Amino acid sequence: MIEALGINHIGIAVASIDQRRQFYEQTLGARFEGIEEVPNQQVRVAFFLVGAPGHEVRLELLEPTARDSPVARFIEKRGEGMHHIAYTVDDLDGRLASLKEAGVELIDDEPRDGAHHTRIAFLHPKSCGGVLTELCEPRQ
Ligand code: ZN
């Protein structure tokens, strides 16, 4: 079982962070947190916080850094928009092992490094009601 401790962030695919930033900051009123490059996913990610203090939700804008990267292919196929939901979990290794055993299709058998000092793993949308699902374990 995933037993999420919360929603860690919502991932949104964009062709250009610079072009989309204005919507999130000026129109939505989200607070810009920073930009990080995640080489193993071939993306540049920008983080924004929405919501009142103590109730913030993080949005992650994903901009592909390579033409043949998964996010670039996603945008090519479906256009910009909702990409994945990430849940905060503990014991990521144990969760992946038990999900695999339960027949859940994993994209990542082993955790990898995510942005914001986390370890992450993706589950296949086929096993998650059509939603690309990320499990996210903050490093202690
Ligand atoms: Zn994510």
> From the CA of 106, how far away is ligand 1's center (Å)?
15
Tens of pLDDT, residues 20-73? 999 999 999 999 999 999 888 899 999 999 999 888 999 999 999 999 999 999
Q: What is the pLDDT of residue 99?
A: 97
Kindly give the distance from the C-alpha atom of residue 118 to the centroid of ligand 1, in angstroms, as a whole number.
10
Ligand 1 centre distance from Cα of residue 31 (Å): 18
Distance 9 CA to ligand 1 centre (A): 6
Q: Which of 89, 98, 41 is nearest to 65 (CA)?
A: 41
Note the pLDDT tens digit of each residue in 102-127: 999 999 999 998 888 899 999 999 99
| 13: phi then psi, degrees, rounded to nearest 5 | -80, 130
* H/E stretch holding 92: helix 92-101
Show the domains of the chain with their CATH numbers.
Answer: 6-138 (3.10.180.10)
